Amino acid sequence: LVHADEVVANCPKYIQRRTPADRPAAGPPRAVATGRALTTAQRLTVATADTFFVASTGPDGSVDASHRGGYPGFLAPVAPDRLRWPEYPGNSMFLTLGNLELDPRAGLLLPDWETGGALLVTGEARTDWPEEARRGVPGAERMVELAVTGVVELADATPLTWTEPEYSTAIPH
C-alpha cells in the first residue's frame, strides 16, 4: 500500500519497451561487490546501459525518482569515479535538476535486464548548463556529471528477466 503526497507524470519519451519473464531460480537479493569507485566490469555495465533511474532529494526532504533513457553509451563512465549523461527534453518540470541544484546527492539504479541483477551508484551531481558542455551530443539540452561516492552490485535484485529492448523513437541520434 502506497500513500502518495504528490504525483507528477514522468516523461515517457525515452522509455524502452521490454517484456518481463519470471526467473524461478532467483534467490534473495545479495550484494556481490561494493566499493567507492566502479570496477572495469561495472564501467562496461554503465557504458552499455540504455536505462537508469535517478533519485534526488527535494528541499522538504521528500525523495524523487525519475527515469533516464537513451541508446547504449548515453550514460558514460568517464572515469572509475565519474559518470556523465545528457539531459534530453522531457516534461519541462526539472524536478531532478532542481533538486540536484539544492542538494547534489543522487542515487542511480541500473537494472541488469538479462540477469535480474542491478548496479546501485551514489554520488554528487552537477549540471552543466552551457552549450559547450553538450556540444557533440545530439539532442542534449544540458549534461549532468556524477562524482561517484559509492557502488553496490546486486545479484538477484529482482526475480525477473526482460526481453531485448524496443528503443524509443524519441531518442536523439
Task: Give the model's pLDDT for residue 20.
Answer: 97
* pLDDT, averaged across the chain: 94
Q: What is the pLDDT of residues 115-153, one digit of tens each?
A: 999 999 999 999 999 999 999 999 999 999 999 999 999
Q: What is the pLDDT of residues 69-108, one digit of tens each?
A: 999 999 999 999 999 999 998 877 788 999 999 999 999 9
Task: Give the model's pLDDT for residue 67.
Answer: 92
Assigned domain for 130 exists: yes
Assigned domain for 6 exists: no
- Rounded to 5°, the CA angle 128-168-14 comes to 35
Alpha-carbon distance of 94 to 143, in angstroms, equals 13
Assigned domain for 36 exists: yes
| Residue 54 grid cell | 535517478
Task: Give the model's pLDDT for residue 3.
Answer: 84
Task: Give the model's pLDDT for residue 154.
Answer: 98
Assigned domain for 58 exists: yes
Q: Is the pLDDT of residue 159 over 80?
A: yes
CATH number (domain holding residue 106): 2.30.110.10
Q: Is the pLDDT of residue 8 over 80?
A: no
Task: Give the model's pLDDT for residue 87.
Answer: 94
Between residues 7 and 158, the one the model is more confident about: 158
Task: Give the model's pLDDT for residue 4.
Answer: 81
Q: What is the pLDDT of residues 33-57, one digit of tens each?
A: 999 999 999 999 999 999 999 999 9
Q: What is the distance in angstroms between the CA of the first residue and the CA of the last residue of the chain?
A: 40
Q: Where are the alpha helices (DSSP H) in 3-158?
A: 40-47, 95-102, 131-134
Task: Give the model's pLDDT for residue 91.
Answer: 74
Assigned domain for 167 exists: no
Percent of the chain with pLDDT over 70: 99
Q: Is the pLDDT of residue 19 over 80?
A: yes
Q: Are 170 and 138 in contact (CB under 8 A)?
A: no
Assigned domain for 72 exists: yes
In terms of residue numbers, what domain contains 55?
A: 28-158
Assigned domain for 129 exists: yes
Closest C-alpha among 154, 148, 156, 113 to residue 38: 148
- Our count of domains for the chain comes to 1
Assigned domain for 10 exists: no
